[in-house]
Chain A
């Protein structure tokens, strides 16, 4: 193959694909990227068998006389002189292209090597037999859910932080994604707190039912990384055992988590007797203040609300205690209290979209429901003493 490509575009593509390429694998061929040059442009493929990426740098209408800016606008691949395939070490290819200073890079294959040339500088990488590299099926024509790229990134950020990281509880190691009546809903939980948020979405293609899917957190983060333009429309395919995401330049596939996601609807409180609204930033500041004295062994901050005043207290056997006060608006029992792990609340408040945060709860042993924005709910289980 022989391809002339814009260096920055090639670097960006290699960098995105490198996100899935394992640095050390039991199957060494996975430590490579597969470069495919066609008359339409250059494709870069990488996989760790859990997640796969197909990144496309389209052939542009750029001319060699264009300025750098013009080339960037028009597309990354300047010329495909000879279609072909090369499988080369992913990390080395990225590092070399990144450190080149030329604007244009020429990729050309010889018998068993790929030459990357930029200006006077070049390297020759050993190629691997292309048949050893796993096949990554193209996205194809299938039922999809279309959403705006920026909205998708935001909804992932709003939820994925609550997914489980610990061993066990396999089904909670990902983000549940489901399409329901014009909305794409994402839910993540680690069994102690749960974040749920949805964005408008549109069904496209064949009208098969969009099934709920548990997408590994890593895959979700990768999806966000390839969405370069917040305004572009991206398409999500929720398949039987994998989820695919198609953007202007990339197709990504992640193997789904095979498990039963907990019945989350049941733990979101519907009727609550106590309702409190407070300034989100101020609450976060007061929480952080009081959390300073709480120990790792008993990380709890108690919220006590009475009339329109919120009292926060925290203590630790070895360190002492702290208290803070703030105003809030409150409706409910004459006084009520509930204790939470402050870290959980702070993680949620960081994503709060309005100035006010709303907390609803029934009693000190039942879940607290935080409303952090439109279509954005965060449920946190309290901490109690004396089981």
Chain B
């Protein structure tokens, strides 16, 4: 099943946010630079320069810890607008080589360069050319992996980082994969790695030698997926029209929140924002996931799938709140809400018998109006106001007068769903 020719490129910018900061302020050159939230508001590191990484600092680490590891750390507040505009430049460079570009995040993308030989040469040559072009046009370095599949291409760029370049041919995949730790496989997190270790599986080679049935029995669908990857089998294509798999928000509070009412208000605010985001993208979601992180960093999630998809804040909140009640009561440092199983609002609609809130019937209104609830129609009007005067122009009364704590928007793609 493995395609023989390596035509997939994975291009990953090196320490993207930090590199942009250093590029634009040369006095930072050679210093351990990090972009992230402040330690006293319990921020986390969003990106770390290679100098900072040498001290053990990495992204997603609490800023306070990073400061401990690296006392001379230069911490900068993130400027996402600037990063986004640089990202657009980089993506445009990719697209000048091939239309098959699948952005994974601001600083990372998969490219399929099959069929570009006549114009630009072999995949390896295209990879080199892209790396040169990015450096020339943006003064930023990146790492490029070239391989027959997405997983191998990403692995190649990871192994080559920083400023690296690596081709993995189909016939050397086995030799490259075998000695690597299983945690290199996308989908093997710390927990799965631990369970694998308990079964005596430490390297990708160990995993590949196991019977597929055995791995599937132990890990279910994930088992089939990681066993395939361990064999270098990865049928995912590079798809330029990345469909969103989920949409959500989460937030680390400046101080742990124990008060349930306070948590519910945060939750309501999230649900309203997530719902607005979904409506803005013309989507609805069916599966609602609540994420909660406790003071000791234990992270729990609770999920509920609705019978029918929604993009209405109050409906999402009703479920999220119910999920919150199912969590043990203790101070929380982070709360998040995510919707998945997304579908297009233009998908067929199941009509309803009773009007959304009052329980009056649509037949009473003459029976000819498309069966949409009052809440839906009211929301449409509110959204027009929000688009004109800003997302916070209309909020539920219980959220009036609250200062907004910045949350991190998390829109995850197919990889995160894997």
Contact = CB atoms under 8 A, between A and B. Distances in A.
Given A168-B315, A362-B367, 17 more contacts: A168-B319, A190-B307, A191-B352, A191-B353, A192-B353, A263-B359, A263-B361, A266-B360, A266-B361, A267-B353, A297-B341, A298-B343, A298-B347, A341-B350, A381-B351, A381-B353, A381-B371
Contact of B351 (A189, A298, A382): A382
B353 A365 contact: no
A192 B361 contact: no
Contact of B348 (A166, A193, A384): A384
23 contacts: A166-B307, A167-B306, A167-B322, A191-B352, A194-B353, A262-B354, A263-B354, A266-B363, A267-B353, A267-B362, A267-B363, A297-B347, A298-B343, A298-B347, A341-B350, A362-B367, A366-B363, A366-B367, A367-B353, A379-B353, A381-B351, A381-B371, A386-B346
A387 interface: yes
Nearest to B376: A387
B372 interface: yes
Given A167-B304, A365-B370, A381 B350 contact: yes
Interface in A288-318: 297-298, 300
B372 A387 contact: yes
Contacts of A350: none
A262 B364 CA distance: 13
Interface in B63-85: none
Contacts of B306: 166-167
Interface of B: 304, 306-308, 315, 318-319, 322, 341, 343, 345-354, 359-364, 367-368, 370-372
A contact face: mostly helix, strand, loop, or mixed: loop
Interface string A28-63: 000000000000000000000000000000000000
A248 B117 CA distance: 85
Nearest to B353: A267
Contacts of B318: 167-168
Nearest to B345: A387
A103 interface: no
Contact of A267 (B347, B348, B354): B354
A385 B349 contact: yes
Contacts of A229: none
B359 A192 contact: no
Nearest to A297: B343
Interface residues of A, number: 34
Contacts of B362: 267
Nearest to A300: B348
Given A297-B343, A365-B370, A384 B363 contact: no
Contacts of A194: 353
Interface string A179-203: 0000000000111111000000000
A260 interface: yes
A191 B354 contact: yes
A384 B347 CA distance: 9
B203 to A, nearest CB: 36
Nearest to B373: A191
A211 interface: no
Contacts of B359: 171, 260, 262-263
Contacts of A387: 345, 349, 370, 372
A275 interface: no
B227 to A, nearest CB: 25
A367 B362 CA distance: 10
A365 B349 CA distance: 10
A280 B360 CA distance: 32
A383 interface: yes
A285 interface: no
Nearest to B343: A297
A300 B348 CA distance: 8
Contact of A384 (B345, B351, B361): B351
A225 interface: no
Contact of A189 (B349, B353, B370, B371): B353
Contacts of B360: 263, 266
